[in-house]
Structure 1
Amino acid sequence: MFLRSALPSFVADAIWPDHRTTYKLHPTSYLDGLRGIAAIIVCICHYTENNHGTLTNPYGVNGPSSWIQLPFLRIVFSGRPMVHIFFVISGFVLSVKPIKAIHSHNQEKVLAALSSSAFRRPIRLFGPCIASTFLIMAATQCGYIYTPAPTFAEQFWNWKDVAFHQITWPWSWDKDLRPGYDIHLWTIPIEYVHSMLLFMIILLLSRVRQVVRLSAVFGLIVYFLCCGKWAAFEFTAGLFLAECHVIHGPHPKLWESSEILATYPPPKPWLGRIGWNMLHISIVATWLFIGGWPNMDGNITPGIRWFLASTPEPFRSMDWLHPQKFWFGLSAAFAVWSIGELRPLRKLLEGPVAQYCGRISYAVYIMHGPVLDNTQRYVLGHPFFPAEGDLDTADYIPARPATGVRMFVGDETPVQRTMGWFIGLCLLGPLVIWAADVFWRWVDNPIVALGRRVEMACLDDSSEDYRPRQGFALAA
């Protein structure tokens, strides 16, 4: 039914409950919820930076401030640290299945899991981005958004160059390529190339003893930091956390099979429950504070300037963004660990709202840019602009009355700016969620299914050892 597919899924489920899709929780579902919340924060960040730039200043710096600019609270529109959360989570989630297979001492399953993940990874990452930017290209050529090229052929070849040299370009490792048609997709080639690095590391260490593997991964973590490679550090930190999760988690089965596998009892709380909780709360609080690192003026922001001065080499001298990346990456790795250990936070992230955000997180990340670019200037409008120049001269510009949200609430005081920010977010946020939900069901999910079908169609079933019933070819 077209009407059902065009509505947001939660609205359609409320109208047609018999067709509701149920989702089961798994041991790492809280990571899906965390990724979903992080994607929403990235969306709020770009909305705030594009329309309410003064709110991104440190509290008490550059004029009167709003309460949402205070430390800890400003994390709600701090999108840069969320990228590092994405990468740590990716390293964790991509590692769990092969690590479980390693602990079950079944090398065939390790190879099947790694092969399947590596085969499907480019389809999973690049497919939705190619589809979304193609739609943006078509909308641009039709004059709905941005400035069109003179002809469709020029527009198409420009899009082809962007898709090939920026969105699917894995050769720059951790450089911001700033892709055309959707600049926010700069993380996608970085995600892809470090996924491949992660699979190579797991394969390299899949046959060694556990203590050797953990020591080697920890050594690589330190090595990547010493080289200034923040993304490699974050993916490898996710691998380390995944191994610790498998070792200490009370899993009756470490792999989806009929084999009876060993279980690992949880470690004894040598700090005591209260001590561990306080440690994890302190880590999360530190991450929230560092996450509020302002885009500018970090050197005069209380607390942040200490982290800036304490940044080690080579991050300190690379460029003005790399000190942020060091602290964002380091705090993200610890935060992912601590959030998984704090039961109230974990339960919150396993709740229905966070899990829904997790399911549409990739679609939110892909769709929020074009949706905001196409709607925010009409919804928010502009404040009153007085006349400029002399009335009888050619450079005279008449006064322009305020429009949109700014016409109703103003834009002069911190209270007015905060109200305008909040009302605009309430109006634009549902549009982003709606577009992301539809894109998730119409494009994202079908591309995931396409990756499975392509893999199964390409598998070599001529070997006597081929056993499709095991299902490991579909490992994510």
Structure 2
Amino acid sequence: MSARPNQRNIKWVEGLRGITSVLVITTHVSRAFDFALFWPADSKDGTPRLLQLPYLRIPWQGRIGVPIFAFLTGFVCAYKPLKLAYQQGNQAASLKSIARSAFRRPPRLILPALIATLISFVLSSLGGYKAANHCDSFWVRFDAPDLVPFKEGVRRLFRTSLTTWTNTENVYDRHQWAMRPLLIGAFQVYIVLAATIGMRFKYRVLVHVLLILYWLMNVNALTETFGAMLALGTLLAELSQHRPTQNFISTHQRLLTYVVAPLILLVGGFIGSYPQEHEDWSSWSRFLHSHLVKGGSIVVPEGSNVNRRTSGFFIMCAAVSLFLSPLFQKLLSHRLLIWLGHHSFAVYLVHGTILRTVGIWIVYGISGEPWEPAGKNEDGTDRPQEWIPPRGRSYKMVAVVVFTALTYAAAWAWMKWVDTACARTTQWLENKVFDDDEGEGNGGLAEKGFAHGNGNGNVSAGVPRPQNHQDGERKLPPP
């Protein structure tokens, strides 16, 4: 049975986004309360825990949430313009869609991020991060802003609201480091689309493939996390519109779903399990190190970030497997995953603040006391810094449950009120800036000196308009 691209199911995109938001939560919980999950075992040649084994460790060790968001950015930003140009043959509408999407992208990212930063600033000013500043988790202490005088805090708020979009530094919410590269990445996609929208299919695909190879050969920071994933998303969006490709997938559905896609996913998952630290503590991680990292390889070129390269390879394998398997897409189209995906951006913005406050309060106490900064003892010897220890394992389990429930409750409220307000503001700006879809409005013509309002919003009758004539003839002006 032939596949029809215009009937293709892309609900899986929202489902994948939902899974990604859950992965972001799980990795940050493990960073805060059980950092050893990032290792292949608790000690050298020790027996690994279940969640430290290959494949099972992937959700906890992190490094995959942001690359998936980058892949989805490439796919979503490209899908509609390509559909307009590719299926409907309307390149003009495609370019207009690109222009409007490019206009909407900055306020739809910046406005919610600013509000989340402001909330974190208020909590910091009230001393909400004091327990996080004094706990024994280094990662939590690094993420939590120090308490400073209010005046200095206001200056820091304005400074960090700018640096989030200049150098990715946000003292009040460090999880926003990915916002700037994701914004820039979206515009990279728009530029590629605008530059290639008139090309024939095979040459557009060639451009996307060359871009993927370029970013993978580039060993600069985060090229595998953003550049390669964005280009892969654009490539798969392109192939999603290609009828012969979809017919091939439909014809060989069983083989691709039950053999090819799982094999690709298994290979990618094993490589993506490469540990954050102490790769010499287990035989399987030593195997990966000797064959992929030592001396460099295609997957991990010399000079590149080993952890991000292995995770990036896994994400690429997972994306290709998902693209090849209609069954995987159907599973990701479950309404629960779609609901999670709808709230994923809100989860990304609120979860860090809730974790550093309520989550840490449950495990370490609200007061952050007793605590004494490092200094000198009475006899003149150095007094090392002692951090507040956790209350116990049961408190951590309660914290995880409460934190998760509060995060999704807050995300629901965020989408209902905050995100809706930001969307309305963006839509108002778009309507104000752009002409109507029927063509250039009177306001645009007036700006160029071709029309003048008569007070009723109509073009004055005295202004000459261009006339359409048949057969290339032009009437003579009246005598």
TM-score > 0.5 by shorter chain:
yes
The question of whether the paired residues in 2 share the 8 Å contact of 1:371 and 1:431 is answered with: yes
The yes-or-no answer on 1:190 pairing with 2:187 is no
Decide whether aligned partners of structure 1 residues 124 and 312 sit closer, same or farther in structure 2, where only a CA change above 3 A counts.
farther
Distance 1:248 1:60, change over 3 A: farther
Rounded to whole Å, the distance in 2 between the matches of 1:336 and 1:424 is 33
Offset of 1:87 from its aligned partner? 0.7
The whole-number CA distance in structure 1 between the counterparts of 2:119 and 2:8 is 34
Q: Distance in 2 between matches of 1:225 and 1:379?
A: 43
- 1:317/1:429 CA distance change after superposition, 3 Å: same
Cα deviation digits, residues 62-86 of structure 1 (max 9, x gap): 4454211111111231321221111
Aligned to 2:418: 443
Report the Cα offset of residue 457 of structure 1. Answer: 1.4
Match of 1:158 in 2: 156
> Per the alignment, in what secondary structure is the counterpart of residue 78 of structure 2?
helix
Identity percentage of aligned residues: 22
| Alignment of 1:45 onto 2:27 | yes
CA distance in 2, matches of 1:438, 1:242: 32
Mapped to 1, the partners of 2:126 and 2:391 lie a distance apart of 25
Task: Report the 3-state secondary structure (helix = DSSP H, G, I; strand = E; otherwise coil) of the residue aligned with 2:170.
Answer: coil
| Equivalent-residue separation in structure 2 for 1:452 and 1:462 (angstroms) | 14
TM-aligned CA distance change 1:29 to 1:155, over 3 Å:
same
Q: How many residues align?
A: 398
Q: 1:451 to 1:401 in 2, by over 3 A?
A: closer
Which amino acid in 1 is paired with 2:263?
S
Q: Does 1:227 align with 2:218?
A: yes
Distance apart, 1:242 and its partner CA: 0.4
1:287 alignment partner in structure 2:
268
The 8 Å contact of residues 103 and 430 in structure 2, kept in 1 or not, is answered as: yes
CA contact 1:33–1:357 (8 Å) conserved in 2: yes
Is 1:142 the counterpart of 2:126 in the alignment? yes
The C-alpha deviation readout for 1:315-357, integer Å capped at 9, x for no partner, is: 64436xx122223223312312312433443233211221111
Shift of 1:404: 4.3
Matches within 5 A, 1:92-107: 92-103=75-86, 104-107=88-91
The aligned runs of 1:105-120 (5 Å cut-off) are 105-120=89-104
Alignment CA distance shift 1:241-1:272 (3 Å) = closer
Unaligned 5+ residue runs, structure 1?
A: 1-24, 250-263, 386-391, 410-419, 468-476
* Partner residue in 2 for 1:345: 328
Structure 2 partner of 1:131: 115
CA separation in 2, counterparts of 1:400 and 1:134? 28
Counterparts of 1:401 and 1:164, CA distance in 2: 33
Summarize deviations over 1:215-254 as a string: whole Å, max 9, x none. Answer: 12211221222223322111011100000111149xxxxx
Q: CA deviation at 1:291?
A: 3.4
> Match for 1:448: what amino acid?
A
CA distance in structure 2 between the partners assigned to 1:132 and 1:272 by the alignment: 44
Mapped partners of 1:90, 1:77: distance in 2: 23
| Larger deviation, residues 447-456 vs 129-138 | 447-456
**1:38-437 equivalent positions in 2, closer than 5 A:** 38-59=20-41, 61-62=43-44, 63-103=46-86, 104-145=88-129, 146-151=145-150, 153-165=151-163, 167-169=164-166, 177-228=168-219, 229-230=223-224, 231-248=226-243, 266-267=247-248, 273-274=254-255, 276-298=257-279, 300-301=281-282, 302-303=284-285, 304-305=288-289, 306-309=291-294, 311-312=296-297, 316-318=301-303, 322-381=305-364, 404-406=391-393, 409=394, 422-437=397-412
Query: Structure 1, residues 170-214: CA drift from partner, whole Å, max 9, x if none?
Result: xx6xxxx44211111111100011111110011000011111111
SS of 1:71 mapped into structure 2: coil
Tell me, in whole angstroms, the C-alpha distance in 1 between the residues paired with 2:417 and 2:439: 38
Question: Structure 2 stretches of 5 or more lacking a match?
Answer: 1-6, 130-144, 371-376, 443-479
Q: How much does 1:439 deviate?
A: 1.8
1:434 maps to a residue whose letter is A
Change (3 A) 1:36 1:215: same
Letter in 1 for 2:358: T
Flag the 1:462–1:43 CA change in 2: closer, same or farther, 3 A: closer
Offset of 1:453 from its aligned partner?
1.9
The one-character-per-residue Cα deviations of 1:27-56 (angstroms, maximum 9, x if unpaired) are 211111111111111111111111111232
**In structure 2, C-alpha distance between the alignment counterparts of 1:133 and 1:195, rounded to whole Å:** 22
Q: Report Cα offsets for 1:84-116 as digits up to 9, x if no partner.
A: 111111101110001111212212111111001
Q: CA 1:48–1:193 in 2, change beyond 3 Å: closer, same or farther?
A: same
**C-alpha distance 464-400 of structure 1, shift in aligned 2 (>3 A):** closer
Tell me, in whole angstroms, the C-alpha distance in 2 between the residues paired with 1:99 and 1:401: 55
Moved more, 307-316 or 190-199: 307-316
Larger radius of gyration: 2
- Looking at structure 2, the residues matched to 402 and 194 of structure 1 have their Cα atoms a distance apart, in angstroms, of 41
Change (3 A) 1:118 1:423: same
8 Å CA contact 1:367, 1:435 repeated in 2: yes
Identify the residue that residue 254 of structure 1 maps to in structure 2.
Answer: none
Q: What CA RMSD, in Å, does the superposition of the two structures yield over aligned residues? A: 3.3
Q: 1:36 aligns with which of 18, 22, 25?
A: 18
The code of the aligned residue for 1:246 comes to Q
Shift of 1:447: 1.2
Match of 1:414 in 2: none
Aligned-partner Cα distance in 2 for 1:462–1:269? 37
